[in-house]
Amino acid sequence: MHIPDGFLSVPVWAALDLAAIPSVGYFVRRTQRSFEDSRIPLLGVLGSFVFAAQMINFPVVAGTSGHLIGGALLAFTLGPSAATVVMTAILLVQALVFQDGGLLALGANVINMAVVGVWVGYVPMKLLGGRGPNLRGFAAFLGGWLSLMAAALLAAVELSLSDMAPSGPLFASMLGIHAVTGVAEGLITAVTLTAIQRLNRSFVLPSEAA
């Protein structure tokens, strides 16, 4: 759901560009303070993986497609602060090099997917992660689904503020289609994290003991 240029009115994209800069700066500093040294090699590995996954669209319903966004996946493996920074870098590379997502709309895409998508996606694991492996799998699924829904909801708010379409149909169709795509997001997130957890029990964040 990378918003292209032209979909957002000037006040909307400008405000979100201005909001995105200090937000990402804040999460860079937070990562510097709290990121575990042992996980540093993962910054590149997970950024590459999520970039590659975002390239591959799968069919959804009625002639549409979707791809993994990976906000929850990054949050559960890098922690949410570093996840925001890595997702921002992915969106930046996609906009600059691959012309996917607008340059002026970059702030909107960062706020939707890298900030709100990541942090909303992190909530279920934070709340349910300490209560056994079954609930961890469910929390991973729910995190993926919610992260996509949160990003879709924000995109709908921004498009609505930009007067692109009447709000009712806009919200209904954005949330409707992403509720379905979100099931795939949730399943991919849960399956990938379960596989990773089999290889390394303490890997998925927050770790079980916490």
Partner 1 sequence: MKRVILFLGGLTLTLVLLGVLVASSSPDGLEAVAESLGFSDRAVEGEPYSPFADYEFRLIDSSWPAQVTAGLLGVALMYGFGIVFGRLVRRGRGG
Site for partner 1 in 92-111 (CB under 8 A): 93-94, 96-100, 102
Minimum separation from the CB atom of position 142 to partner 1 (A): 19
Minimum separation from the CB atom of position 192 to partner 1 (A): 8
Question: Which among 19-27, 113-121, 135-143, 195-203 is the span making contact with partner 1, rule CB under 8 A?
Answer: 195-203
Question: Which among 10-18, 121-129, 130-138, 170-178 is the span making contact with partner 1, rule CB under 8 A?
Answer: 170-178
Q: Name, in order, each residue with C-beta under 8 angstroms of 16's C-beta and a sequence gap of 6 or more.
A: 8, 105, 107, 108, 110, 111, 158
Minimum separation from the CB atom of position 12 to partner 1 (A): 13
5 interacts with partner 1 by CB under 8 A: yes
Please give the size of the binding site for partner 1, defined by CB under 8 A: 73
Q: Which is nearer to partner 1, 96 or 127 (CB)?
A: 96
C-alpha R_g of the chain: 17
CA distance 78 to 5: 30
37 interacts with partner 1 by CB under 8 A: yes
Q: Which is nearer to partner 1, 70 or 143 (CB)?
A: 70
Residue 181 structure tokens? 């795509």
Residue 194 structure tokens? 């379960």
Q: Which residues between 40 and 99 bind partner 1 (CB under 8 A)?
A: 40-53, 55-60, 62-67, 82, 85-86, 89-90, 93-94, 96-99
Can you say how many angstroms the Cα of residue 133 is from the centroid of all Cα atoms in its chain?
23
